[in-house]
Amino acid sequence: MEKSAALTEAWELLFSGRFRDSLVSFSQAAADFRWAAEALYGIGVAQLSLNEDVSAEAALWDSLQRSPLNAEALFYLGLIAERRGRRQEAIGRYRETLAMAGDHASARVRLAAVQTGSSVRPSLVPLPASRPPAPPVLARPAPRVPAPAPVDPEAIEALQRAVTLSARPRVIAYLGSLDPEVLAPLPVHPATALLLGAFWVGLALLRSALPFLGSFITLFQVAAGAGAVLQLLGLALTAVRAARMRVTVRLGRVEVHRDLLRPGVTGMDLADVDSVQLRRTGLQPLTGDGTVALTGAGGTLLLCGVARGSRLTHLYRQLLDLVEQLHGW
């Protein structure tokens, strides 16, 4: 496991007696969950050495919640209990320490002193002999990969015949998708059209309020108006495109017919598809429409608005299952 530079610096400062300086480095290391347990333990030792018992106790308990097998943290909690007059608690903490680390000399000495009644409130805090060892690295075993099942040509052919579709995309699916790839052939967006229209209205109101700037404002108004008109034309063309288009899935091949932006027939064999993705963007969670993206070596084919709700999910699962069967995944 890699080591934290801030944690190493903090322990060096602690062992050299610079307790206040070590708290800064310990706090930096505690921000990373990998070092939080050790850093909080170090904070507790440093604060205890500065006679800040309350803060030290909180830090040590927090450290123990993350690393319950730290016998040193239990010892210092016993020391805090002894310093604050909680005799029975101190005895319990020292016994816990010895149960976890039988050779802990300091815990044995303090336990004997408390039990015999000769304990004097300890003013000096013994520093740990060394920083705690790094926690063990737990690695998840690699999953066993089962051998691919033999491909049944008849089953694949039956599945190809079962996955069929002939539909016109819904216009609202295109206009409300807000998916850059769906509208990629056209630099339009419904929100852009609304913003340009609102900007044009705002400029008209400003021109009436500031007539002496009328010529200057008119230039911006013409530009905003032209942009809004172009956006509306683009959205209208998108609507016509979706209304004319037809998408078919038949015998393992997906084809798009009568696309205004792509003359002829564009298609892709499902055997050449590398991934099938279902997207729900823009207004599609409300309308139930969605976009199925088929990606292969030749590019990406987008099927937007060809089905709704559960039918869309069913189509997606059918296409995904067929692609997996064709690839033998």
Question: 193-219 burial, b if ≥16 CB within 10 A, otherwise e?
Answer: beebbebbeebeeebeeeeeeeeebee
What's the first-to-final CA gap in the chain, in angstroms? 35
| Tokens encoding 292 | 């199925």
What backbone torsions phi and psi does residue 259 show, to the nearest 5 degrees? -85, 120
pLDDT at site 138: 45
- Over residues 37-50, the pLDDT tens digits come to 899 999 999 999 89
To which H or E segment does residue 262 belong? strand 262-269
pLDDT at site 31: 87
The secondary structure of residue 292, as a DSSP letter, is E
pLDDT at site 151: 60
Q: What is the mean pLDDT of the chain?
A: 82
| Tokens encoding 94 | 């020292």
Spell out the domains of the chain, with CATH numbers in brackets. 5-116 (1.25.40.10), 151-329 (no CATH)
Q: Does pLDDT of 1 surpass 60?
A: no
pLDDT at site 137: 47
Cβ atoms 209, 192 nearer than 8 A = no
Give the rounded distance of the alpha carbon of 273 from its chain centre: 27
- Over residues 105-150, the pLDDT tens digits come to 888 988 988 888 766 666 667 888 777 766 554 445 656 656 555 6
pLDDT at site 120: 60
The angle at the Cα of 105, spanning 100 to 111, to the nearest 5 degrees, equals 80
Helix ranges (H only) for the chain are 5-15, 19-30, 36-49, 53-66, 71-83, 87-100, 105-116, 153-162, 171-175, 190-209, 214-244, 284-287, 309-327
Distance from C-alpha of 177 to C-alpha of 172, rounded to nearest angstrom? 8
**DSSP-assigned states of every residue in 159-186:** HHHH--EEEPPPHHHHHTT--TTTTTTS
Q: Does pLDDT of 281 surpass 80?
A: no
Q: Does pLDDT of 329 surpass 60?
A: no
- Over residues 68-108, the pLDDT tens digits come to 888 899 999 999 998 888 888 889 899 989 988 888 888 89
Tell me the pTM. Answer: 0.47
Distance from C-alpha of 97 to C-alpha of 91, rounded to nearest angstrom? 10
**CB-based contacts of 323, cutoff 8 Å, min separation 6:** 270, 273, 275, 276, 329
The angle at the Cα of 112, spanning 106 to 118, to the nearest 5 degrees, equals 110
- Select the more confidently predicted residue: 279 or 75: 75
The secondary structure of residue 90, as a DSSP letter, is H
Rg (CA), the chain: 36
pLDDT at site 140: 56
